[in-house]
Amino acid sequence: MYSPKPEPNMNKRITFSQSDLAIQIESLVDAIENTERPAFEIGQTRSGYERVWPTRLSKYFNSIQQMLNLFEGNYPYIYSEHLQAFWMACQDIGLERGLSGLVCLNEQNTEYLDFHHSMNVLVARIRQLTHEQWYQRRQSDRRYEAGQHQLTIAKYINQVLDRYSRTVVVRVDLHYLSLAQVRLRIEHVFRDLEKLIRARERNSIFDHETGYICSVEQGKSKGYHIHCAFFFNGAEVRSDFFKARKIGDLWKEITQGRGYYHSCNEAKESYGSEVGIGPIRRDDSCARDKVLKAIQYLAKEGQHLRLKPTGSRCIRMGRIARPL
């Protein structure tokens, strides 16, 4: 039987986080959609030997083993269309671990292809799946959902701002340290968020809170993170800086030192005339519009989660109290 060639860069021991791998898979599938090239160009030299040339897709396959590992385990996730297409393609072609890398059988199921030919088969199957209706529909559904979330957030913010004559708006971004990101899984983020939300019921930091919005997101540079907005009765709370710091310190406590925070309220000057945080008067329509602008981006489509636990909600909001 054919002995497969070694997978390139197999000896590299670069460990990627769950978030990094999910984004790499998304980038690979996007690249496949935008080119007709294979993973590798394969031809023969004049002397009859097989030769492999890289393409614009080749770089993605340096971490293909770790990409596949992302789907191991029994934790119930919902995957984005990019991850779903990748995983379905791996299963459809029967991709498996050989002694020297990931390989699949040829069309006749008589022998294993080498790594480069196997990756070409994988790319061809992913490309087919990206043209199917379910894949195209998932993309449009996500854009529609992001738009609906923005409308819901806008309605919620207006109701909160209508509650009192003055509302203090606090914005904090909750992150994880780089060393913690390597082992961080999305279910850990939702667990920590749940602890933060539960803490509101007993921690004096949240005295006079009138509402909150938390959005779990995923970015290329900072991995998993949470954007939060907390609203307080302006007649009782004066210092937005103090509240932001206390919430950030609580986050570091919840994450046992694995997390850090950024206080938007301590960097208000960076927003210039568009600042939409701090004390906001109910009758100041211009300031209210800036609050909407500052917070609605929590539902932006570009930093959506590529995978999430089944049944989880990426955006959490408090209950609306009856107007006084």
Q: What is the pLDDT of residues 272-297, one digit of tens each?
A: 666 788 999 999 999 999 999 888 77
Per-residue confidence (pLDDT) for residue 10, from 0 to 100: 43
Over range 199-216, report the average pLDDT.
95
Per-residue confidence (pLDDT) for residue 55, from 0 to 100: 96
CA distance 305 to 226: 11
190 confidence band (pLDDT: 50, 70, 90): very high
Q: What is the pLDDT of residues 247-263, one digit of tens each?
A: 999 999 999 999 999 99
Per-residue confidence (pLDDT) for residue 73, from 0 to 100: 83
CA distance 90 to 104: 9
Question: Closest Cα to residue 262, out of 171, 188, 126?
Answer: 171
CA distance 271 to 265: 10
Per-residue confidence (pLDDT) for residue 44, from 0 to 100: 85
CA distance 182 to 13: 13
Phi, psi of 171 (to 5 degrees): -120, 120
Report in angstroms the alpha-carbon separations of 259 from 15, 131, 132, 172, 187.
Answer: 20, 40, 40, 13, 15
Per-residue confidence (pLDDT) for residue 274, from 0 to 100: 64
Question: Closest Cα to residue 207, out of 252, 154, 168?
Answer: 168
CA distance 132 to 39: 21
Q: Which residues contact 182 (CB under 8 A, 6 or more apart)?
A: 15, 17
Structure tokens at 233: 């009765």
Residue 7 in this model has a pLDDT that exceeds 70: no
3 confidence band (pLDDT: 50, 70, 90): very low
CB 174 within 8 A of CB 316: no
Over range 73-101, report the average pLDDT.
93
Over range 204-209, report the average pLDDT.
95
